[in-house]
Structure 1
């Protein structure tokens, strides 16, 4: 891994992707390392983005230049490390995504160098703009390790078993089974850095005023506390089942951003979104970094749950021939079987289908209603086609009802697309379309069931 030497550090980093691409700084968190972005990078490069991925002070191959330098780890001094790296690379303006420690480091960069940071993605750790209030008891319980490290005996326990200390957070902060031991052990090598414990202890003690921030960074710490909001285009990515910073801890996040902003919740994801669902993270980062900021909108992304959905079986024939996963299954009183495929990730070739006796799928009620595609979004009237079908329900009176939230990709609801469609099972024809206006189907919500 290349090394760049600044006044303070010898920083290990990678600089990959198109050399003429817009630069994106990707900052890892704790307890993690720079490999956390590995599964996200290919998509960013394919989108034309150049990526700079540093290893933070105290981790991996990054080392202090001076043996007498204080082993500090407050977010403002980490931000100063990052700006020194970008200066050394001769990169003036850039975009940032940061996870955990990297999230608050990215925030500090946006506060300290607003003329250089163009767009911002924060993952899994809320901003500290305006200062950090004492958390409510439930959140303080989740952050037990903060208080543990503030004690002499807790600090010694971390020194005695840094790997075990990190491992328990990987176990507790995301759903069971999300990682394999081989991956963790590879990452844990980064914690063998001789300064990892000291930097870690200082980082957590400083945020609760149990230690002073690095003196060189005091100006930036003060500026973050004095800043109420940021106005640059930004997104916040929240794991719906984050074990340390759950959605309840992020309720105030949208109010910290005065410009274009999206709050993105990833269903089934814990504290490590870029490791747990890298495809979704890459997709949302690309939208932020290459798209129109005006198109940013709050989203609930269910793609991880979709990827785990098992294909519905009809007799011995599997419907797995359909690339998208069926999320809805309905059986009528006379035994007819129907499935639906929402456009949560890729385009679905069929939105609603009847399962025939041989296990094949037949577009229902006809091919026309199932012919809407993402690529033709501007060509077809969304009110006359299935856009993103969430639910199908037979009513016991000879009808199949189809609920279409009209939000392909779990993103922006298309105007005119949300609807409830009634199909006569005897004639296989649509007999009623009940449109749901946008003052009912609000942006950021999702019609889920009938």
Structure 2
């Protein structure tokens, strides 16, 4: 029986070189196992998978949990590289990681930024994705449509993104990054009792020297306030068409998500053209894997063994 209280030794951090990054990642399980890549979001870290990676590894899977660009020990190879946080850069990092590890295909699981990277790779390179567990459905940004204002309640929830559009936001995140990110944890997972216990485990990952620059670029690019990486413009153009995802997918949605609770009707279903299921998790906020490890494990195993 799977247990949510898996206890394991601290995972060893490994590094691998890609064209733009030296990616730090945590590895669990046998190198011969079927690969699963678990991707964290903002402002989170691989600690979100502490109760998931060991349980999957115990069943023989090869589990890889990378630190995204701007987090933890992951570093850019060159000081001249744009510290982009755009969605295409996150997806390219995932592809580069898979190539560097010689993984022709992997199961993907991600939420927030990590879910966006996973969804993009599933949409544009479906042959690389065995199956997908996505936090909050279809995570591809509709950047051309971002100029249209949304309803006031949604705009209110996006206050932090608008804050980052200003120099005050840059300075605030720089000076108060741990307190700021802790506030987001509390706002986004308002009913989770373990915020105070778990946040200190992820907070050190935000001390990365590129964290602020990557975060600010991410939230400015998605509203077209800054340019992206010219080498990735082709991908952004493809994403603007909102391509469908046809790989087997389970969407996990938090009923108490402070960014935006799951609506009663699934408004993402039209974007999934393959086997697809949406599961709304009662009492769960935005930090889906860390708040609901059993449900996350079950979703992955249902796809992998189904």
Aligned residues between the structures = 291
Residue 43 of structure 1: how far off its partner (Å)? 2.6
Going from structure 1 to structure 2, the CA distance change for 1:125 and 1:184 (only over 3 Å counts) comes to: farther
Matched, 1:178 2:201: no
Residue 156 of structure 1: how far off its partner (Å)? 1.5
Matched, 1:41 2:56: no
Residues 129 and 256 in structure 1, CA contact (< 8 A), matched pair in contact too: no
Matched, 1:155 2:170: yes
Residue 88 of structure 1: how far off its partner (Å)? 1.1
Of 74, 89, 113 in structure 1, the residue corresponding to residue 125 of structure 2 is 113
Q: Which residue of 2 aligns with 1:23?
A: 35
Q: Distance in 2 between matches of 1:217 and 1:26?
A: 23
Residue 48 of structure 1: how far off its partner (Å)? 3.1
Residue 75 of structure 1: how far off its partner (Å)? 1.5
SS in 2 for 1:86: helix
SS in 2 for 1:121: strand
Of 210, 233, 248 in structure 1, the residue corresponding to residue 225 of structure 2 is 210
Q: Distance in 2 between matches of 1:125 and 1:150?
A: 26
Task: Normalising by structure 1, report the TM-score.
Answer: 0.62
Of 132, 154, 166 in structure 2, the residue corresponding to residue 139 of structure 1 is 154
Q: Which residue of 2 aligns with 1:59?
A: 71
SS in 1 for 2:244: coil
Question: Could you say which structure has the higher strand fraction?
Answer: 1
Q: Deviations over 1:228-256 (max 9, x none)?
A: 42111111100011010211398421111
Residues 17 and 50 in structure 1, CA contact (< 8 A), matched pair in contact too: yes
Consecutive unaligned residues of structure 2, counting only runs of 5 or more, are 1-12
Residue 95 of structure 1: how far off its partner (Å)? 1.5
Residue 137 of structure 1: how far off its partner (Å)? 2.2
Residues 101 and 125 in structure 1, CA contact (< 8 A), matched pair in contact too: no
Residues 23 and 66 in structure 2, CA contact (< 8 A), matched pair in contact too: yes
Q: Which residue of 2 aligns with 1:88?
A: 100
Give every structure 1 segment of 4 or more consecutive aligned residues whose post-TM-superposition deviation is greater than 3 Å: 129-135
Q: Distance in 2 between matches of 1:95 and 1:250?
A: 27
Matched, 1:282 2:297: yes
Q: Which residue of 1 aligns with 2:4?
A: none
Task: Normalising by structure 2, report the TM-score.
Answer: 0.90
Matched, 1:252 2:264: no
SS in 1 for 2:181: helix
SS in 2 for 1:247: coil
Matches within 5 A, 1:349-364: none
Q: Which residue of 2 aligns with 1:74?
A: 86
Q: Deviations over 1:166-212 (max 9, x none)?
A: 01111111134522434212211000001000000011111111112
More relative contact order, 1 or 2 (CA 8 Å, 6+ apart): 2
Q: Which residue of 2 aligns with 1:233?
A: 248
